[in-house]
Amino acid sequence: MNKRCILHTITLGILIVALSLLVACSRSAPEALEESDSSLTADTSQPATEADVVEGSDPGLEVEPSEEVPSRKSSSASQVRHVKIDSFKFITPDLTIAAGDVVTWTHEDSAAHTVTADDSSFDSDRLSSGETFSFTFSQPGTYGYHCNLHPSMTGRIVVE
């Protein structure tokens, strides 16, 4: 037998084994799915209540109450605010935000910069062009910040 025939025979053998496995898996898969899906089926005989539905989920799915899933009673969701770093400046350096909001600084300059709180409550370390730094402001107050490498670059976040 030449090398070409041997190669074709091996390939054919691999295909036969793969096809056999595929057929075997497809025969056992429906039973396995039926068994595992039975525990995930929602009880549709009772309509879901507000307590049963997790915010943003499918209302047809019920969720067991748990202390680990806090419900958010506040009607205002936290927001992400953006500050651009470019031309050795913080663009929109002064922001007034709500507690729980996130500020993301996006570095678009050629030189390295940092975003460092005057009170050291946050620090981005050195950022290169294209990198971002985000911080969640959970406590009300006024937070001054600056670039450690370029002290003339300053900004202020007021959290209400």
> Within a 10 A sphere around the Cβ of 11, how many other Cβ atoms?
10
Q: Please give the chain's pLDDT, 160 residues, in tens.
A: 666 767 667 776 776 776 666 566 556 444 444 444 443 344 444 444 444 434 444 444 443 443 333 333 344 678 999 999 999 999 999 999 999 999 999 999 999 999 999 999 999 999 999 999 999 999 999 999 999 999 999 999 999 9
Amino acid at 25: C
Sign of CA dihedral 63, 65, 66, 69: positive
What's the predicted TM-score (pTM) here? 0.53
Nearest to 101 by CA among 18, 158, 17: 158
CA distance 85 to 92: 9
